[in-house]
Amino acid sequence: MSINIGGNILSSSGYTPNSEIVSPNIVTDGLVGWWDAGNRYSYAGTNTDYYDCYYGDNGEPNRGCKYYASDPGCYPCDGVLLDMSGYGNDARRADSGVTFNYSNIGGYVDFPGTTNQYLTCNRLNYLEHSYNRPSDTGEITIQAWVNPDSVSANGNIVNCGFNTGYRCRIQTSGLWFYVSGNQITGGSVPLNEWSLVTFTGDANGLAQYVNMTLGASNGTAFNPTVKSYLLIGAYNGSSERFNGQMASVMIYDRVLSYEERLQNYYIGLRRFS
């Protein structure tokens, strides 16, 4: 069996990704956040350069690995995932316990599930606070490739706005998607195995999927009430910390169709199957 996606053939005999960009054919329409440790445009790898978290005169961040440790506004590049959506919402690890696998084929971020081990996108002064755009459009799709080590405690995948924004996590009873009091639970995520988890919301309600299988849905509209910064891998520094690996996180300001979700799913399989 073979499937043609974006001009590339995925077959039962396997596929070798492009040496520079692992996921060149993901859906990009409506993409407002994209962090991927297996893509060198997002994670350059361990080096001696530093990343500047300050802002220029026009309010935009000075992006790129070109600054130095002597500047207190800089962080090592090996602790930063650049946002490839074009909105500049780069993710920085809160503590060095979060580690990055550099492999271009199977790159991932390893979360140990302990205190202060998460990534944060906290550009509170950045005008294009794009991961909040779903609050304005009334639609959202969150996708993440995850490989959990355990689910003995709730493990947040994405948290924006805490209990008055939108959150998604893995817990013992399955996936959980929460939007300002509106929540759904269901869909089993296997341990020690890569899966694509997807969360969607619009005026028709919420839904969540493990790979392409529906885990749960409802008919209550997606309606977060607070805009806030984004955390990946935890609710906060001390609770609901994800334990395992994440390879890629994508946020869209619209609901992807079945065909679009399938496209992203098969592209991920090239890395992990």
Q: Is 212 left (phi over 0), alpha (psi -120 to 50) or beta?
A: alpha
C-beta pairs of 127-132 under 8 Å, 24+ apart in sequence: 127/59, 128/87, 128/88, 129/89, 129/227, 130/32, 130/33, 130/85, 130/87, 130/89, 130/253, 131/32, 131/33, 131/87, 131/89, 131/160, 131/230, 131/251, 132/160, 132/227, 132/228
pLDDT in tens, 17-27: 333 344 558 99
Q: What pLDDT does 100 receive?
A: 79
Q: What is the 3-state secondary structure (H, E, C) of 143-202?
A: EEEEEECCCCCCEEEEEECHHHCEEEEEECCEEEEEECCEEEECCCCCCCCCEEEEEEEE
Task: Return d(Cα 149, Cα 172) in angstroms, integer.
Answer: 12
Q: What pLDDT does 53 receive?
A: 45
Structural domains in the chain, sorted by start: 26-41+83-272 (2.60.120.200)
Question: Which residues of the chain carry a pLDDT beneath 50?
Answer: 1-22, 47-73, 75, 124-129
pLDDT in tens, 211-259: 999 999 999 999 888 777 889 999 887 889 999 999 999 999 999 999 9
Task: Return d(Cα 227, Cα 124) in angstroms, integer.
Answer: 10
Q: What pTM does this model have?
A: 0.81
Q: Tell me which residue of 194, 150, 158 sits closest to 179, measured CA to CA.
A: 158
Q: What pLDDT does 138 receive?
A: 87
Q: What pLDDT does 45 receive?
A: 64
Q: What pLDDT does 211 receive?
A: 96
Spacing of C-alpha 66 from chain mean position: 25
Task: Return d(Cα 203, Cα 220) in angstroms, integer.
Answer: 7
Q: What pLDDT does 80 receive?
A: 78
Q: What pLDDT does 69 receive?
A: 46
Q: What pLDDT does 78 receive?
A: 60
By residue count, the chain amounts to 273
Task: Return d(Cα 123, Cα 90) in angstroms, integer.
Answer: 8
Residues 6+ apart with CB under 8 A from 47: 65, 77, 78
